[in-house]
Amino acid sequence: MQMQQRVYVPGGGGGGGGKRSEEEIASGMELEVFNQGMWKTELCNKWQETGTCPYGNHCQFAHGIGELRPVIRHPRYKTQACRMVLAGGACPYGHRCHFRHSLTDQDRWTDAAVYESGPSIDNANYRCR
């Protein structure tokens, strides 16, 4: 079974007649990319271990190399450093994190400069009411 991949493109003439705002178009495009972008992009762990899967044809993971599909990522995927890694901690998302775990010298320098400069709000003049 061949699955077709669809991506909404603003101004692509999707029909419907009504005029949609740029926010609605972007939101719809992101949702569509999200929904289709992860379907069968990784091998099913259960299928790899046992050769069977309780979800059968309804499994969201691929049952074999032939079912694998390319991943559609946001253009800014892994372009910024992970804040957990910058802070010196371990990221709970691991390889699924949307941010970079390899730090550049610039990342380290920028992060150090932010911490050395202190908070950007003048705490002495800030009061809760």
Q: What percent of the chain has pLDDT over 90?
A: 36
pTM for this prediction: 0.46
Task: Give the Å distances, CA to CA, from 18 to 21, 47, 102, 112.
Answer: 10, 45, 45, 50
Question: Could you read off the pLDDT of 74-121 as tens digits, one per residue?
Answer: 888 899 999 999 999 999 999 889 999 998 888 777 765 555 555 544
Distance CA 29, CA 35 (A): 10
Beta-carbon contacts of 78 under 8 Å, excluding residues fewer than 6 positions away, are 98, 99, 100
17: left (phi over 0), alpha (psi -120 to 50) or beta: left
Q: Which of 26-35, 42-51, 75-84, 98-107 has the highest mean pLDDT?
A: 42-51
